[in-house]
Amino acid sequence: ADKDKYLKMIYNKTAVLIEASARCGAILANLDEKAFGEYGKNLGLAFQMIDDILDIKGDEKTLGKPAMNDFKEGKTTLPYIYL
């Protein structure tokens, strides 16, 4: 349940924008909108998952933002679901 809730959250937070951008590019190029939309969705989900992992593993200099910020703010992220 937590994993499904997390996936829905990161879809709405990040992936939907990348999905829409990929769909728009496909429409303008007269290519397969559905395939490009799926690609954008998966890219957005992967991007957010990596960002959530880097929040734990990275340092402030590399991240460009405070490390462990999601944890400090009590945000549910994939690494914490599996801890």
pLDDT tens digit at each of 83 positions of the chain: 689 999 999 999 999 999 999 999 999 999 999 999 999 999 999 999 999 999 888 888 888 888 888 888 888 888 888 87
Residue type, 58: G
Q: What is the dihedral of CA 6, 11, 13, 19, to 10 degrees?
A: 160
pTM of the model: 0.86
19's enclosing H/E stretch is helix 16-28
